Amino acid sequence: MGATQVLMISDGELVRRCRAGDSVAWEQIVHNYSRRVYNLAYRFTNRHEAAEDLTQEVFVRVYRSLEQYDPQAGDLANWLMRLARNLVIDDYRKRVRTPTDVGEDLTDHEFHLRSSTDAPDRRVERQERSLQVHSAIAKLPADLRECVILRDIEELSYQEIVDILNIPLGTVKSRINRGRIELAKTLRRMKVVEFI
């Protein structure tokens, strides 16, 4: 009920209310951003459970850091997603260094378009293709994969990627290029690219 009441409230106001102890405002922030954070986490983890855990961890961190957020310094979305990306990348690198034997649950992948005017058959086709893209990304080497996701899915600039990954600009450019070529070759083998 509270979520609908504060639907039109700005992020700055939501944060102010949260700081004042308004739990409804916090629920609204979770509602507004959980989907985006979850998708980011899922694209790196490829597992629903891991993505949910990571999303929860991100919001716990956000909740604790809410006092540090300065509305004058930028949007809540930017601040929250920057925090989320850092956490997700940290987790991803940790998992790459110490891989577990848990496989990816690619068979359970299901996607839906946020807004689409496509015909149902066209929509299904796009969903299938996205599933294959997801599988192809999952096959990329870890260092290429994080760069490609941040550039082509999160749509960050080269410099933002440099800041997050803490690697030189030349390395970022090189990895993005190699990642895209690798992805293209994988998709060609999967007969995805030729359909477009």
Q: Which residues bind other proteins (CB under 8 A)?
A: 18-23, 26-27, 30-31, 34-35, 38-39, 42, 48, 51-52, 55-56, 59-60, 63-64, 66-67, 109-114, 126-127, 129-130, 133-134, 148, 152-153, 155, 173-174, 176-177, 180-181, 183-185, 187-188, 192-193, 196
Min separation Cβ 107 and other proteins, Å: 14
Q: State how far the Cα of 58 lies from the Cα of 181, in Å rounded to an integer.
A: 32
Compute the radius of gyration of the chain from its Cα atoms.
18
Return the number of the residue (97 or 114) whose C-beta is nearest other proteins.
Answer: 114
Q: State how far the Cα of 189 lies from the Cα of 48, in Å rounded to an integer.
A: 27
Contact 108, 48 (CB under 8 A): yes
Min separation Cβ 155 and other proteins, Å: 7
State phi, psi for 12 to the nearest 5 degrees.
Answer: -60, -45
Return the number of the residue (31 or 139) whose C-beta is nearest other proteins.
Answer: 31
Q: State how far the Cα of 44 lies from the Cα of 163, in Å rounded to an integer.
A: 18
